Amino acid sequence: MAFEGLSERLQGTMTKIKGKGKLSEADVKEMMREVRFALIEADVNLKVVKSFIKKVSERAVGLEVMESLTPGQQVVKIVKDELTELMGGEQSKIEFATRQPTVIMMVGLQGAGKTTTTGKLAGVLRKKNNRKPLLVAADVYRPAAINQLETIGKQLSLPVFSKGTEANPVDIAREAIEHAKAEHLDTVIIDTAGRLHVDEQLMQELKDIRSIKEPDEIFLVVDAMTGQDAVNVAQSFDDAIGITGVVLTKLDGDTRGGAALSIRTVTEKPIKYIGTGEKMDALEPFHPERMASRILGMGDMLSLIEKAQTNVDEAKAKELEEKFRTSSFTFDDFLEQLDQVKQMGPLDEILKMLPGANKIKGLENAKVDESQMGRVEAIIRSMTIQEKTTPEIINANRKKRIARGSGTSIQDVNRLLKQFEDMKKMMKQMSGMAGKKGKKKMSMPGLDSLFK
Amino acid sequence: MSFFKKLKDKFSNNVEEEQSTEKYREGLSKTRTGFTSKINDLVARYRKVDEDFFEELEEVLLQADVGFETVIELMEELRYEVQRQNVKDTSNVQSVISEKLVEIYEAGDQELSELTFAESGPTVILMVGVNGVGKTTTIGKLAQRLKNEGKTVMLAAGDTFRAGAIDQLDVWGQRVGVETIKQSEGSDPAAVMYDAVRAAKSRNIDVLICDTAGRLQNKVNLMNELQKVHRVIAREIPGAPHEVLLALDATTGQNAMIQAQTFKEVTEVTGIVLTKLDGTAKGGIVLAIRNKLNIPVKFVGLGEKLDDLQPFDPQKYVYGLFAEGLDREEQEEMDSDK
């Protein structure tokens, strides 16, 4: 069962209130129902959803609908902006101690991925921050947990401090910190046992470990698939030991990850890293905006809208449309369009932003050949002004010259000419259709086929 | 008789039931004191079945991760039922509701919560699920349970990927006192299964429980690998695996539905083990899964001890869902009143 994203959900309500300049209270209320639905399906905690919706509604009512957006898109934009802001705006960096060693504690429920994350984090800190980490095996309860960390240490060629399963975790941590000082290892990462937040005895153990030397970071490791209970878990751990940040794991799955918002709201602690795979290097910094899009299930459509908004000149677009209709679209116009697309960013990134694109098989690794785009440009720039405006005059001789001038082959030139012709035909048809409905069309059909 | 009283009476009919309920209650609520008085309070609070009651019920269900769709469906049915029966006495309405709630779970006509065993030869149970849900721990507990029933049990260490997974299963095997068939880390899990099934057959083992590596359901290669494991087992023993149990973390939200669906497509999941129910999470999504995919919950994990695996009882489960859910609402209301 695939969940619909918020954009799709809002489509129904969107049509009803199209063409209005301002969002009325009733419009917003209706749309907020869909927002509520989408957020709950994304596992955002009900109470968090409620307060969130209240906030967004206040912002949305009476707001002018931007020229280029429909009311629905406008609401999605507000929702996403608010969500992004809530999720932490700026990325936050890890805190290191001024006096060595830096101590980092990893805590969380069973099965959240603490041990794996401990290894990944150590790898990242060594590589990116030039630290010398010591892994500490303080999970003496789960069978073979120590063994797991030792294996990870071996894989990464990092030292692991362990004292077997008979030792007390508090003693292990204390000795590990001493050991790190003696060995001049500047970062101690303590892998604690998974525990339920309601287990008072084990929560006390965490407090005891914390009191050895105030850790510079206490990371709560949370499974991204966590549902409504995320608030209880995060709140309890924060209340008991005061976490400094969150690591969200298993984001390489297909969960929406609404837990991120819940946790962020109740603890107000930043999400610092996300786990994105089983490999030891699959730990990435957290991007609030991407997470917001993910929760709303809409790719990065809004950044795309925003990009298009800032980069496509309205007046020019109108002019173009006119040209489509009258078939006076030339290679010069085409070049201009290419430039606009290029300004929006690398093409494969734009592709990734399209909602649903992540579901298309093979596309996740799709690389758009930017050099192909350069080649097209070169061919056009090798044409004379006359050739650009009336491509029909391009005969075999001219083709040969263009190919030579652009460093391409006659086949390349032929292909571009044919595609340009096809494109013009299609645009004429489409703008004809759009003209009847009175809609603006700015798409470039056939553009994709140019880069394959 | 009122909703909660009725449920409560159902459980207190005999002492054995009471103990088992106690275990559930213990698992489902770590903070509860004065069980009876709380229940009475709840009943007192919900004398009336009005819109407020429905709304609160809806929120309790949503917060238990039941999922929007199922909750909305259920609420519609409940409202309809209340209207249809046109009951004046509100306490009767509550009993209608209690029945309806258990009914959503028991909708399937056959009794599915028992394990299926092979008529002759070894029974094979395959444990599957995403990472970190408690597959290996569940296997340990399940092995203990089956051994207590007088069966001979063998384990197969099919998680050859995660560091330390083989040792982890091995430790459980030693605790329970059963043999674990294993190969080295990184070896082909299908080959481990082949060995294990052969060993189980030649040693006349009653039940072989196979561990597999945790895998996220959207990893196509890993799901193909699981399919291969399934195929190898089926080839060696016709009709096997007799049970494919999907371990589901009660903390998991709506993604559990996708997990159930995908794993069912790949391995014909026959039942769910709902783990980590001893926290504050309810795993309400199993109601939706039962509703949509007709996969029953067979066991619940209520703690870390060897005997903390219990057969699933829908009535007790539903009861736990509400008693504590409404309890919490009430507590919060009281807190905010202060």
Contact B157, B182 (CB under 8 A): yes
Nearest residue of A to residue B166, measured between CA atoms: A144
Chain B (155-184) residues lying within 8 Å, Cβ to Cβ, of chain A = 161-168, 170-172
Nearest residue of B to residue A113, measured between CA atoms: B132
Relative orientation angle of helices A46-60 and B51-63, to the nearest 10 degrees: 110
Q: Identify the H or E element spanning A324.
A: helix A314-326
**Residue whose C-alpha is closest to residue A367's, from A338, A347, A341:** A347
What is the three-class DSSP state of A135?
strand
User: Which residue spans within A30-157 are E strands per DSSP?
Assistant: 102-108, 133-138
Four-point Cα dihedral A320, A323, A324, A328, nearest 10: -140
User: In B, which residues are within 8 Å of A225 by CB distance?
Assistant: 130, 249, 252-253, 255-256
**B261 and A CB contact within 8 Å:** yes
- Compute the nearest-CA separation of B246 from chain A (Å): 15
Query: What ipTM describes this predicted complex?
Result: 0.82
Q: Identify the H or E element spanning B81.
A: helix B68-85
Of the candidates B68, B133, B171, which has its C-beta nearest A41's C-beta? Answer: B68
Strands A271-275 and A187-192: unpaired
Residue type, A202: L
Distance CA(A42)–CA(A292), nearest Å, equals 11
Contact A44, A52 (CB under 8 A): yes
Distance CA(A1)–CA(A17), nearest Å, equals 29
| Chain-chain contact of A223 with B64 (C-beta, under 8 angstroms) | no
| Chain-chain contact of B253 with A255 (C-beta, under 8 angstroms) | yes
Nearest residue of B to residue A359, measured between CA atoms: B218
| Chain-chain contact of A254 with B218 (C-beta, under 8 angstroms) | yes
Strands B153-156 and B243-249: unpaired
Furthest C-alpha separation in chain B = 68
User: In B, which residues are within 8 Å of A110 by CB distance?
Assistant: 132, 134, 276
Side-chain-side CA neighbours of residue B224 (13 Å)? 3
Nearest residue of A to residue B332, measured between CA atoms: A47
Burial class (CB in 10 A: 0-12, 13-18, 19+), B81: middle
Tokens of B28: 């489902």
**Strand-pair partners of B297:** B272
Question: Is residue A186 left, alpha or beta, with left meaning phi > 0 and alpha meaning psi from -120 to 50?
Answer: alpha
The per-residue pLDDT string of chain A (452 residues; one tens digit each, 9 = 90 and over) reads: 344 566 666 666 655 555 566 777 887 888 888 888 889 989 999 999 999 999 888 888 877 766 666 677 778 788 888 888 888 766 667 889 988 899 999 999 999 999 999 999 999 999 999 999 999 999 999 889 999 999 999 999 999 999 999 999 999 999 999 999 999 999 999 999 999 999 999 999 999 999 999 999 999 999 999 999 999 999 999 999 999 999 999 998 888 899 999 999 999 999 999 998 888 989 988 888 888 888 887 655 545 555 555 555 556 666 766 776 666 778 888 787 777 666 665 555 555 555 444 444 444 444 456 667 788 888 998 999 888 888 888 999 999 999 999 888 898 899 888 888 877 777 666 555 544 443 333 444 444 444 44
User: In B, which residues are within 8 Å of A232 by CB distance?
Assistant: 280-281
Q: How far is CA A4 from CA A118, A155, B52, B72, B285, in A?
A: 34, 40, 29, 17, 18
Q: Using one digit for the tens of pLDDT, what is the confidence trace for B281-334?
A: 889 999 899 888 989 999 999 988 888 999 988 877 877 777 665 555 555 556
Nearest residue of A to residue B302, measured between CA atoms: A196
Tokens of B286: 């199993």
Distance CA(A423)–CA(A418), nearest Å, equals 8
Chain mean position to CA A449: 27
Of the candidates A46, A111, A196, which has its C-beta nearest B63's C-beta? Answer: A46
